[in-house]
Amino acid sequence: MSKLLKELNALKYSYVARQPIFDSERNAVAYELLFRDGPKNTFPDVEAELATSRLLSDQFLSVHYKSLGKKRGYVNFPQQSLINQIPALFPSNSIVVEILEDCEPSDELLTAIKELYKKGYTLALDDFVPSPGWLRFLPFISIIKFDIRTVPIGKAAFFMTKLKKSKIQFLAEKVENYEEFKQAKEVGFTLFQGYFFAKPEVIQQRAIEPSLLTVVQLCKEIANEDINYAEIERLVSTDLSLSYKLLRYVNSSSMISSEIKSFKQALVYLGEDRLKKFVSLVAVSNTNEGKPNSLYTLSISRARFCELLARKSNGKIDGSLAFLTGMFSLLDSLLDQTLETIMDSIPVDHSIKAALLEGSGELGKAIQLVRAFERANWEEVIKLRNNLGIPEDHIADCYHQAQTWAQDLIDL
């Protein structure tokens, strides 16, 4: 019964605003999916990368067909998520990849767009404002969206005539009355979106949230040079949310020829790189939406810093316990609860609890050293370093390695 209650408590609501996209005959042909963090139909004050991660996790790793039916979902992707090929985690026949208007038309982005194009993804330029920098991207673009409040229909039409021989479709956004719809259709727009047709509709559904402890343990496992797939399989199989999301994610891929029914099959299919991306996506989307992404990044960089220090301690400190100590050191800030309450609610080693609550033991010294280094309290750093027997020239190196590792994990 207690296990069932825990699983039920993990069920929260997820929200997405779904605005239909129409063709010239006013038939709904797709939906733009807009992230929301509550029933109010407004975009929340969260970072773009986190909003995209949450939306993808809630809609495409969960029961997204309830909100999409058989239609495609248009999804906004910020620059870094495109460069990291995050759209490739999802079936090409389910999404239209929208390249946000604030993306820079760099060489790195062009390479990423070409790769997605080769994989069969439909690519759209969102809120497009014509400029020379985007010309080399056009051969890989299927849809260009003009916000007719920003780029008037007449100005958009001038650009569209230059691309008459291309296969690009043009979508008029923010169409607010019949006259605008009629005018846009006359100049060559074939797709339409706006309040004249329908306002965004908020869809509320149950969101299955993974256990924070399980996500932390998975982050630890994928950090190892030799990934222990048996341990990852064990962790996934004990968490209702991760089990569901993993199997849905793998089975939704167009690359598999038969349904995958076991976690072991799923993990073998994913491979190391895609597994890391999957865990990172789930981890970031599971961050408290009221907290900045930087707080999560700090917690995992602390975890890695503690682990690296443990390796330099001549066996005084267990690296695995050090990792979890660093990771848990910011849980009070992430969850808005006291560390005492959190430590009482999760099954962690007594030495970790003692380190975080009392600052005792070798683990306590390690996390104190990390905090002292972050505050540039060099006198305290020297004292703790000497106590743990860690060579002087290794501290800064461990810190920089931890920072790089954490950022790489976030950027996967």
Helix (H, G, I), strand (E, B) or coil at 307: helix
Per-position b or e across 156-180, b if 16+ CB within 10 A of its CB: bbeebeeeeeeebbbbbbbbeeeeb
- Burial class of residue 226, CB neighbours in 10 A (0-12, 13-18, 19+): exposed
Pairwise CA distance, residues 311 & 73, whole Å: 47
Amino acid found at 192? F
Contact 19, 31 (CB under 8 A): yes
The DSSP letter of residue 25 is T
Angle at 164 between CA 133 and CA 101, to 5 degrees: 35
For tokens 């808005």, the residue is 336
Residue 31 CA from chain centroid, whole number: 20
Amino acid found at 393? D
Mean per-residue pLDDT pooled into runs of 10, the chain (412 residues): 36 56 88 55 43 49 48 83 81 87 93 95 93 94 94 94 91 91 94 78 48 71 76 75 68 57 72 73 58 67 87 82 81 73 70 89 92 86 89 84 75 51
Pairwise CA distance, residues 343 & 324, whole Å: 12
Q: Report DSSP letters for 218-244, one per residue.
A: HHHHHHSSS--HHHHHHHHHT-HHHHH
Pairwise CA distance, residues 31 & 45, whole Å: 23
Domains located in the chain, CATH noted: 12-205 (3.20.20.450), 210-285 (no CATH), 293-411 (no CATH)
12 DSSP β-pair partners:
207
User: What are the start-end ranges of the E strands in 120-219?
Assistant: 122-125, 143-147, 169-173, 191-192, 201-208
The predicted structure's pLDDT at residue 349? 74
Closest alpha carbon to 208 in 343, 62, 93: 62
The predicted structure's pLDDT at residue 188? 95
The predicted structure's pLDDT at residue 45? 41
The predicted structure's pLDDT at residue 154? 92
For the full predicted model, state whether its pTM sits above 0.75. Answer: no
Q: For the chain, how many helices (H) and strands (E)? A: 19, 9
User: What are the start-end ranges of the E strands in 157-239?
Assistant: 169-173, 191-192, 201-208
The count of C-alpha atoms lying within 13 angstroms of the C-alpha of 275, restricted to the half-sphere facing its C-beta, is 23
Q: Tell me the Cα Rg of the chain.
A: 24
End-to-end CA distance of the chain: 37
